[in-house]
Amino acid sequence: MDELVERNQAYDTVAQAIRFIRSNARQQPTLDDIAAHVGLSPFLLQRLFSTWAGISPKRFLQHLTRDHALSLLRTSHDVLAAAYETGLSGPGRLHDLMISCDGVTPGEVRKLGDGLEIAYGFGATPFGRVIVGTTARGLCHLRFVDDDDAALSTAVAELCAEWPLAVLRCDERVVDEAIAHLFSLHAERQPMHLLLRGTNFQIKVWEALLQVTPGQAVSYQTLAGIVGNPRAQRAVGSALAQNRIALLIPCHRVIHENGTVGRYRWGSERKEALLTYESVSAHP
């Protein structure tokens, strides 16, 4: 986990660099400008990006453009259309991990988590700190959180509010295993099970997103068409906003048709970092 902690610490500077690049896009800042803004020498900025993603800042910048986002949309469209000829029941993959989903029944929703035990805890990822919740039936909760006492307390309170009658048990070991399974390149590829709680339409949207693999992006309009309702772009956006499982249900891969990344409940700079990191990793 030491490598994840180091990459987690590097992410704060990466996010700061992304915000600077976006706010000064017309001036097209140089690497020296970016390094000065984040308080590092160009050499140290180079080393930081190498630690975080194994790439240079220059290569990262090449992928952090609207033109690149538009190219992702174009290349992904045909792939997704072909995938959906077999329906939404097919398995999705994230980082080569097979994902299977189990939906919470309406009866279980009404029980408010009564009889359910959730092991939860906090951990470091290359994109910031997360709170993770797991059950015997699968992972049910994964959200980014700020690394301060107030934010951590709020994150636990939100998990309790979602499952008010469930038994919550802090277990950092379970969380460490889940995060290591997600991000370690050397982990054995065991299936990841998710426990989804949402309406039928929301679950349909989330299952559709499992077909959007790392290095791909999809527009709200295309995603609405894939789930069978091309005019339901706003409803699709609402379903994405209700997603409780970041990364694995990859709502960060949905962008606007004009190539802008749009909003993300955990910060637009994090969304851009995720998209760029995945694009570079998928097309080395």
Q: Is the pLDDT of residue 216 over 70?
A: yes
At 94, the pLDDT band (50, 70, 90 cuts) reads very low
Query: What residue ranges in the chain does DSSP mark as E strands?
Result: 92-94, 97-103, 117-125, 128-135, 138-145, 167-170, 192-196, 218-219, 254-255
Question: What's the confidence (pLDDT) of residue 50?
Answer: 82
Q: Packing angle between helix 268-282 and helix 66-83, nearest 10 degrees? A: 70
Question: Distance between CA atoms of 279 and 217, rounded to whole angstroms?
Answer: 9
Residues facing residue 134 across a β-bridge: 119, 139
Question: What's the confidence (pLDDT) of residue 76?
Answer: 63
Question: What's the confidence (pLDDT) of residue 36?
Answer: 94
Query: Which residue, among 96, 91, 69, has the nearest Cα to 211 in the 3D structure?
Result: 91
176 sits in the region (left: phi over 0; alpha: psi -120 to 50; else beta) called alpha
Q: Is the pTM of this model over 0.75?
A: yes
Q: Packing angle between helix 42-53 and helix 2-23, nearest 10 degrees? A: 120
Do the Cβ atoms of 120 and 175 come closer than 8 Å? yes
Which pair of structure tokens corresponds to residue 85?
């000829």
Residues carrying an active site annotation: 251
Q: Is the pLDDT of residue 80 over 60?
A: no
Give the type of residue at 25. A
Q: Is the pLDDT of residue 8 over 90?
A: no
DSSP 8-state code for residue 245: B
Query: Which residue, among 168, 66, 62, has the nearest Cα to 114 in the 3D structure?
Result: 168
DSSP β-ladder status, 218-219 and 138-145: unpaired
Q: Is the pLDDT of residue 275 over 60?
A: yes
Residues facing residue 122 across a β-bridge: 131
Question: Distance between CA atoms of 281 and 130, rounded to whole angstroms?
Answer: 22
> SS3 sequence, 101-158?
EEECCHHHHHCCCCCCEEEEEEEEECCEEEEEEEECCEEEEEEEECCCHHHHHHHHHH
At 189, the pLDDT band (50, 70, 90 cuts) reads low
At 246, the pLDDT band (50, 70, 90 cuts) reads very high
Question: What's the confidence (pLDDT) of residue 40?
Answer: 93
State residue 280 phi and psi, 5-degree precision. Answer: -65, -40
Question: What's the confidence (pLDDT) of residue 6?
Answer: 82
At 92, the pLDDT band (50, 70, 90 cuts) reads very low
Q: Is the pLDDT of residue 90 over 60?
A: no
